[in-house]
Amino acid sequence: MKFGIFDHVDASGAPLADYYEERLKLVELYDSAGFHAYHIAEHHSTPLGMAASPSVFLSAVAQRTEKLRFGPMIFALPLYHPLRLFEEICMLDHMSRGRLELGFGRGASPLELKIFGVEPSGAQAFYDEAMEIIMAGFKGERINVKGEYFDCGDVPVIFDPNQKPHPPLWYGVHSTESAKKAAKQKLNIISLDPAGPTGQFFDAYVGAFDQSLPKPLMGIGRFVTVAPTDAEALDIARRSYPVWHESFNFLFRDRGSSPRHQRAATYDGLEKDGMGIAGSPETVTQFLSENLKTSQANYLVCQFAYGDQTSAEMQQTVELFSNEVMPELSAI
């Protein structure tokens, strides 16, 4: 069992310069606590994502950590020129001496794509073409890809990643079909869905994965808040989660729409849906143990920082989790 972090890098209400420094200090704590990787989202024109340029934020992460792996979950490919992104990927992998993890996607929100003038109906084709170019770059020498969106003919490749043939690749799954597709492409996966459906996704993934290869990471993501008592943890989660939820829905409200994968409006609703837990170390351990067994996940991805939590509250969660919860779950 490995343990990672997912972070929307959502606004907390703090001044932005202070916010970034606070988050980077928290990432340093993830590093010293022994977490495997730190995954961040990419969002635009919304307080849900204050790391609108993942590469910029992650370059700071690379310099502030020593062992922690890190990367985007995901780079929204329709918002990039793939040649430029390929070069940034190689830079980050070398700046961290080979600690980069790569997630690619079409972009979670069609509204965000439209803001940049990208038609959502063409996002899949754009994604496929951009991936072809990036993967060609990892092979080295020259890129020769001509498609509907890009004409990359005889482009010299002067960068290469530190990790060969490339950093580990990730994909977010929401269905058995997407899980099968990810398996065939040899991608590590993360699900943010409840444990029951996630178990079905992972069954499909394992069935389609080449069993001769090393077992990939199959992650399940959960909101997690830990405090000495259930009451203390619940107070924090019930206050801070609605702040996150407001950010989650900000752009949709602004555009008179609603998200495709809506979340419960309250922390209690989130826990009822099986997608978050707030409690003492014992309560959190029991909840997550059941989630891991039901889903068959071998990678637990925790969202510790969300909403308006203070530095002390987030640090308390990380320390209690790493000292008291992680050892118990490691045996699963």
Helix/strand/coil (H, E, C) string of the chain? CEEEEEECCCCCCCCHHHHHHHHHHHHHHHHHHCCCEEEECCCCCCCCCCCCCHHHHHHHHHHHCCCCEEEECCEEHHHCCHHHHHHHHHHHHHHCCCCECEEEECCCCHHHHHHCCCCHHHHHHHHHHHHHHHHHHHHCCEEEEECCCCEEEEEECCCCCCCCCCCCEEEECCCHHHHHHHHHCCCEEEECCCHHHHHHHHHHHHHHCCCCCCCCCEEEEEEEEECCCHHHHHHHHHHHHHHHHHHHHHHHHHCCCCCCCCCCCCHHHHHHCCCEEEECHHHHHHHHHHHHHHHCCCEEEEECCCCCCCHHHHHHHHHHHHHHHHHHHCCC
> What pLDDT, on a 0 to 100 scale, did the predictor assign at position 199?
96
Nearest CA among 118, 109, 45, 53 for reference residue 79: 118
What pLDDT does residue 292 have?
97
Chain centre distance of CA 292: 18
- Asked if residues 152 and 133 have their Cβ atoms less than 8 Å apart, the reply is yes
Counting as low any pLDDT under 50, the low residues of the chain are none
Report pLDDT for 141. 84
Q: According to the model, what pLDDT value does residue 215 have?
A: 87
What are the extents of the domains in the chain? Answer: 2-73+168-329
Token digits of residue 261: 């994968």
Domain at 2-73+168-329: CATH code: 3.20.20.30
The pLDDT value recorded for residue 182 is 93
pLDDT reported for residue 260: 84
Q: How far apart are CA 60 and CA 73, in angstroms?
A: 17
Q: Within its chain, how far is the Cα of 133 from the centroid? A: 23
Count, residues in the chain? 332
pLDDT tens, 129-169?
Answer: 999 999 999 999 899 999 999 999 999 999 999 999 999 99
Distance, CA of 117 to chain centre = 25
- The phi and psi torsions of 110 (rounded to 5 degrees) equal -60, -30
pLDDT of residue 332: 81
pLDDT attached to residue 331: 86
Query: Looking at residue 294, what is its pLDDT?
Result: 97
CB-CB neighbours of 46 under 10 Å = 22
